Amino acid sequence: MSTTQQVALITGSSQGLGLEVARLYAKRGLRLILTARGAKRLQRTANELRAETEVLDLAGDVADFAHAEQLVETGLEQFGRIDVLINNASELGPSPMPELERLPVEAFEDVLRVNVVAPLKLAQLVLPGMRARGSGLIVNITSDAGVQAYPTWGGYGASKAALEHLSRVLAAELEGSGVRVFVVDPGDMDTAMHRAAEPGADLSHLPGPEVVAPALVELLDEPRAFGRFEAQRLLAGVRE
């Protein structure tokens, strides 16, 4: 199917990587369902992208099941299908980030709800249509903090480790369905989240999300059913 007929749901799409992916998908001709917590910023994003494609925007918290259900229901009502799910929205936790010994468990629960539970909930909501069509793409955004032991990154890293394993199991369960599941590590970027993680740090040497976003365009045509990709290697043509 031409991407001009496809519909992509992108969470956390009002800024950072989500915004840049939405811009590139719009140029590619995909119709968009966008969500983020900040209504004004999301509205500005939607208005910008309507010059390129059809856009549905609905502000809210993806960890709120009622919002997730409304988002998918409204998207299906407007477009009739959801072909691509980009689980990009992430919760960092307290800033500056504390060591695990001092991490409030309530804050950790919030991180898990946004970074693990919400992506699963959205996948559950879009999968019936994907299975029925025999095709679909789910991309979960991860971090090397999910595989490396960085002090103070334990809560966030644990959530990304859980998301990665969830993705592997989901891909195994979807084998033969035509639905692809990918995990993408965008690498360090100069974003608001990274600045919150390291207050006062000079991040000017890091790439912006607009440099990384083309990796998620590459994955639209990736035939494998599962893969964990590092964005910079993917953009360099390395697909291990």
In order, the DSSP letters of 64-124 are SHHHHHHHHHHHHHHHS---EEEE------SSSPPPGGG--HHHHHHHHIIIIIHHHHHHH
Cβ partners under 8 Å of residue 236, min gap 6: none
The contacts of residue 228 (CB under 8 Å, 6+ apart) are 142, 164, 167, 182, 183, 184, 185
Confidence of residue 204 (pLDDT cuts 50, 70, 90): low
Task: Report the SS3 class of residue 62.
Answer: coil
List, in order of start, the domains of the chain with CATH numbers: 3-235 (3.40.50.720)
Q: Residue 83: pLDDT above 90?
A: yes
Peptide bond into 96 cis (omega under 30): yes
Give the pLDDT of residue 13: 97
pLDDT number for residue 236: 78
pTM of the model: 0.93
- Contact between 185 and 134 under an 8 Å Cβ cutoff? The reply is no
d(C-alpha 220, C-alpha 216), whole Å: 7
150 classed as catalytic: no
Between CA 111 and CA 105 the distance in angstroms is 10
Mean pLDDT of 177-190: 87
Tell me, what's the pLDDT at 1? 47
> How many residues are listed for the chain in this entry?
240
How high does pLDDT run on average in the chain?
Answer: 92
Catalytic pick among 79, 108, 153, 156 = 156
Under the banding of pLDDT at 50, 70 and 90, the label for residue 233 is: confident
CA angle 92, 96, 100 (to 5 degrees): 75
Question: Nearest-CA neighbor of 163 among 90, 237, 75, 217?
Answer: 90
